């Protein structure tokens, strides 16, 4: 079995990859770390938590990373992205308390 730590800004493409990895019998996702990118770090974290919850298989810890780049100003594509976490039916992350499942670094 291959073991992975996923580092992501959890856009739609990353969410699909996370889903595929969690559903694979050949992969063990050890953790997910979230960073800013196309969207801010807070939204990336909520998206990762919602994605993991919806899959319902495996529950790797989610760690928040850097909220901005270390060497330059943050530039996102937030204007092109939804302002809320994935609109996934049944995800308590969207309506509940994401801190209950998030581990803080």
pTM for this model (two decimals): 0.73
- Quote the CA–CA distance of 33 and 41 in Å, as a whole number: 10
Supply the pLDDT for residue 6: 96
Range 61-81 average pLDDT:
75
The phi and psi torsions of 39 (rounded to 5 degrees) equal -130, 165
pLDDT in tens, 4-46: 999 998 888 889 999 999 999 999 999 999 988 777 788 889 8
Range 80-94 average pLDDT:
50
Q: Name which of 35, 29, 27, 30 is nearest 10 in CA terms.
A: 35
- Show Cβ contacts of residue 28 under 8 Å, excluding neighbours closer than 6 positions: 1, 2, 3, 4, 58
Query: Which one has a higher pLDDT value, 76 or 41?
Result: 41
Is the pLDDT at 104 greater than 50? The verdict is no
Q: Which residues pair with 29 in a beta bridge?
A: 4
Average pLDDT for the chain: 77
Supply the pLDDT for residue 92: 52
């Amino acid at each position: 079995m291959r073991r992975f730590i996923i580092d992501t800004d959890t856009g739609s493409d990353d969410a699909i990859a996370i889903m595929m990895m969690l559903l694979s019998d050949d992969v063990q996702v050890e953790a997910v770390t979230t960073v800013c990118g196309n969207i801010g770090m807070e939204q990336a974290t909520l998206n990762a938590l919602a994605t993991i919850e919806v899959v319902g298989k495996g529950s790797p810890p989610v760690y928040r990373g850097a909220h901005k780049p270390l060497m330059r100003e943050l530039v996102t594509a937030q204007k092109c992205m939804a302002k809320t976490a994935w609109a996934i039916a049944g995800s308590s992350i969207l309506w509940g308390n994401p801190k209950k499942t998030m581990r803080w670094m």
